Every structure is written in structure tokens, then in C-alpha cells.
Amino acid sequence: MKKLLLILAALAAITSASAETFKFKRADLDALAGSIMALDGYEKACDQGPGNPVRIIRENYKLGQDARSKLAADLAVLLPAARAVAQKLDDFKKEAAGLGGTYDPTNPVHRAAFAAKATPWLNNTEEFGLSPITNDDLRVGLESEGRNPIPISVHQQLLQLRPAAK
């Protein structure tokens, strides 16, 4: 895991020259990082012919020239931030449960105390230096046309990483 983080940090340094400043709500960081991770690839069923079972294979997305390094650099920035958000939410739950208590999501007092702290904190934005991602990077389209069948939910999240209009 440490080796992966070092590699991601190196990629972040390499691509930081093309970084732009993006603002995101803390609540959105996990979904954005997850969308980038979803670009690792997809599973596809392959017919092996009569009498042979269908085989599931893993296909990699065919991304643009520098897209993988851009995405890895962005992930190197977003993953630690998403982990910090998760840790802070755990801290809010401990605080809502009281000293030595265990957070109970069915307890209305616990839920109210958690929501009072977490909701405004999650709605605050943070700025990140990330590499913009374009449709050319993602090569979105129909697989039959040699394009990537990226799920709409993933593509929608990644629209947040569009370059700023000039």
C-alpha cells in the first residue's frame, strides 16, 4: 500500500504542471475518487462457442495518451482527502455517542448530534490542484466504434474535472 502511495505521489508530481484548481464539497470527494477508480476497467462476458461456458474477462478502458497518469495523479490527491473525510465523520459519530459510548444510528439523539456537526462540515468546499480530464482523454462512446462504454454515473462524476472554460 505504501508503495502504491509513493507511485501515486510521483505521478502527482509529474503531472502537477498541468494541474488546475478545482473546488469540491467534502461530501463529494469519496464518489469522485470512486469514479476515477472505476476507470480501471470493466467485466465482459465472452461466448466460448457451443458446449463451452461463457467466460468473464476483464477489459481495460482504452484511454487517451496521458489520461492514466492524469487520473493517477488526481487519485493521489483525492484518496487521502476522502480518507480524511471518513475519519472526521467517525470522529463526529464518537462525539455524538458521548464519552465511551457507541454510536447508534437508530438513536434519534445520536443522529441529531451527528447531523448537527457533520452536515455543515460536509457542505464546505476545499480546493484541490488536479489535472483536468477531457472527453478525448476518456474516449467515451460505443464499444462497437472503438470507444469506451463508461457508465453514465461514472462519466457524470468525472464531468466535474472538466477544464475551466477560457
When pLDDT is cut at 50, 70 and 90, the band that residue 15 belongs to is very low
Listed residue (126, 133, 136) closest to 156, CA to CA = 133
Residues 6+ apart with CB under 8 A from 92: 114, 117, 118, 121
pLDDT tens by residue, 40-70? 888 888 887 888 888 888 888 888 778 889 9
pLDDT in tens, 65-94: 788 899 999 999 999 999 999 999 999 999
Question: How high is the pLDDT of residue 154?
Answer: 84
H/E segment holding residue 161: none
